[in-house]
Amino acid sequence: MLYRILRGITEIYGRVWLFIFIAMFFLAFAFTVIYPLVPIVMIISSVFLVVFVRCGYLALKWAECGLAREAIAAGGCPACKARVDALRVGEERIHECPRCRRVYDAKGDVYTPEFAEEISPPANFERPSEAL
Could you read off the pLDDT of 100-121 as tens digits, one per residue? Answer: 888 888 888 888 877 655 455 5
Residues 62 and 7: beta-carbon distance below 8 Å? no
Q: In what order do the strands lie in the sheet with 92-96?
A: 85-89, 92-96, 103-105
Domain-located, residue 39: yes
What pLDDT is stored for residue 6 in this prediction?
Answer: 92
pLDDT in tens, 13-22: 999 999 999 9
Judge whether 20 lies within some domain. yes
Looking at the 3D structure of the chain, how many domains does it have?
1
Contact 55/63 with Cβ under 8 angstroms?
A: no
Full residue range of the structural domain in which residue 45 is found: 2-73
85 SS3 class: strand
Task: Confirm whether 37 is domain-assigned.
Answer: yes
78 domain-assigned: no
Position 35 in a domain: yes
Residue 98 within any structural domain of the chain: no
Residue 121 has what pLDDT? 54
